[in-house]
Structure 1
Amino acid sequence: MSGVSDRAQAVVALGGGHGLHASLRALRLLVDDLVVDQLTAVVTVADNGGSSGRLRGEFGVLPPGDLRMALAALCHEDHWGTTWEAVLQHRFAGQGEMNGHVVGNLLIVALWEKLGDHVAALDMVGRLLGAKGRVLPMALTPMDIHARVRGAVRHRPDLVTEVRGQVEVATTDGVIESVALDPSDPPVSREALAAIADADWLVLGPGSWFSSVIPHVLVPVLRRALVDSPARVVVVLNLEEQPGETVGFGAADHLAVLLQHAPDLRIDAVLVDSGTLAGEPDDGRRLHEVVDAAGARLVVAALRADDGSARHDARALAAAYERIVVSSDDGGR
């Protein structure tokens, strides 16, 4: 891999849902600024709720919702891009069978049926949108997440039970100890593996930690590709705990549980919001310890949107990504 500052970079971002959407919005800005010249999203395909779950159940297809959100994030901020982004994200109301369905989900499923090829269909939607990057599924078959959860049964705080389904895992009342996938060894597209092999940077997170981020390191062929890739790895931590999945988690816990599921994953940089650590000195010290043990460097920046929500600000996140990518003191592995 050539030096990080002598040319624009190839980046692969892995995740799903709103977290990946935020990351891709930021990375798209770096495409506009010629810092990144090749941007690929590898997206989880385990959703079993809402419009995606209904289409998955009726047609036996990959759940399209997270793929749709990733495509929407890559739309340019001109009239064409903003118009198509709005159309793609439009959710039908009313009282009939279309209630809750999203235009982009229907478009993607229609193209899957028409073309018979997951990747070709997503590429065609991307061309229609003028997307500033490529969107690929994590696997070529729908996945189910199941978790070992402690304390989900009332009055049995030490009882460990199994919770199945992405929606169920994301909303469990217990403490998630580990997650696994079914099928455990699904097929992965050659395009996703090639993008990871050719990347300069791999970005994991932010997002629903157990149901959108960690699943990528649980697919055996995908995990091998991540470990074997010469790319440098950036882990972006969530701004706060997520009800259901990560109640009680601090920044250090997010990183620790990722490494628990993928101890062979080499991490180069860990990006955390400065406000997340403010007032939490113990969590900050633990995070430094986990980062140091992983042989990574910690990058702290103000990343939270100024509206008070638990969302990353796209421009602040883009500035942090640029700082990492073009930094002259990142040292390599």
Structure 2
Amino acid sequence: MVESLIEQAAGRSSDGPAVVALGGGHGLFASLSAWRRVVPDLTAVVTVADNGGSSGRLRHEFGVLPPGDLRMALAALCGDDEWGRTWAEVVQHRFAGHGEMEGHALGNLLIVGLWEILGDQVKALDLVGRLLGAEGRVLPMSTTPMDITAEVTDADGRVAQVRGQVEVATTEGRIRSIRLDPDGVDACPEAVAAVREADWVVLGPGSWYTSVIPHLVVPQLREALTTTAGRVVVVLNLEPQQGETHGLRPEDHLAALLEHAPDLRIHRVVADPSSVPDPDALAEAARRLGGELVLGEIALGDGTPRHDPDRLADLFRAMVREAR
């Protein structure tokens, strides 16, 4: 019975182009929330290096992948009907109180529990997706827990190593590059296959060095991203992230991708005009990567640096229609 449900959950729809979105956290949530309004064949490939909060605690106690970003991706794929809205709220619910359960997300516990029962991370995620009625599939970047280490330059020009996703995301220095520990970790085979077979591959928005670029540091994923026949799209953030990308211009974000994957070619770079001080410089940076700059009003418009899923969906829809 369980195997039958998993097979149904992992099945692909042939109605429309196949889209793979890579990243983690709130950025990937925004991308998935938009894309599920556009295509039925959607796969999320999620960074698995979180070492903080509920995910970090569960990772430390059980030696599992950090489940938090995987949970958020599943919640983003929940439908807009009563079932989807209810389950999205359930898996995102965090326990209050002052005991050992404080701060744990219910969805994290569900995922880890199914990992223990099934002994297979991918099958368990497929089953959770089936339970939630998720409109797409969620896969880990790798089935091996990992840590991010960054080479950081401080204000005095001294170079130091910063280890851990939380620590890298909040560093006060200028990040030059990242690597993963263990080095040369294997990518999730299903994730590699999804990227290779995709019609559209999307990087960003999200924490640039701790959610987006890690996909380019996993050898098999980097090869798949640089050789896929699908169109590669980069969605830029609405503002630099304090600590991680403070002071970086939009074109610097593209340069950082290229530094970690010199063979990467991009077809579209998507940005909100309000976040681009110099459109000509960004357009030139996109052309150097083989791509075209697409500007659109995709911010939520409430004063926060968040993407509006409906506006982003409209832009994606037009982009897909134009490519037909």
TM range (shorter): over 0.9
Q: What aligned pairs does 1:1-333 form with structure 2 within 5 A after superposition?
A: 8-30=16-38, 36-151=39-154, 157-277=156-276, 280=277, 283-328=278-323
Contact 2:298-2:307 at 8 Å conserved across structures: yes
Superposed displacement of residue 37, structure 1: 3.0
Gaps of 5+ in 1: 1-5, 31-35
Instruction: Give the ranges of 4+ consecutive aligned residues of structure 1 lying more than 3 Å apart after TM superposition.
Output: none
Q: Alpha-carbon deviations, 1:191-224, whole Å to 9, x = none?
A: 1122111110000000000000000010001111
CA-atom RMSD in angstroms: 1.3
TM-score relative to the length of structure 2: 0.94
Distance in 2 separating the partners of 1:186 and 1:178: 17
Gaps of 5+ in 2: 1-13
Superposed displacement of residue 324, structure 1: 1.5
Q: Alpha-carbon deviations, 1:110-155, whole Å to 9, x = none?
A: 000000000000000000000000000000101100001111xxxx
Q: Percent identity?
A: 61
- Equivalent residue letter for 2:165: Q
Superposed displacement of residue 160, structure 1: 0.6
Contact 2:79-2:135 at 8 Å conserved across structures: yes
- Equivalent residue letter for 1:8: G
Distance in 2 separating the partners of 1:322 and 1:255: 23
Look up the match of 1:33.
none
Superposed displacement of residue 320, structure 1: 1.1
Distance in 1 separating the partners of 2:261 and 2:187: 18
Over 3 Å counting, the alpha-carbon distance change for 1:27 and 1:144 in structure 2 is same
| DSSP-derived class of the 1:235 partner | strand
Contact 1:252-1:284 at 8 Å conserved across structures: no
Superposed displacement of residue 19, structure 1: 0.1
TM-score relative to the length of structure 1: 0.91
Distance in 1 separating the partners of 2:82 and 2:318: 30
Superposed displacement of residue 189, structure 1: 2.3
Distance in 1 separating the partners of 2:88 and 2:29: 12
- Equivalent residue letter for 2:81: D
Contact 1:140-1:186 at 8 Å conserved across structures: no
| DSSP-derived class of the 2:19 partner | strand
| DSSP-derived class of the 1:11 partner | strand
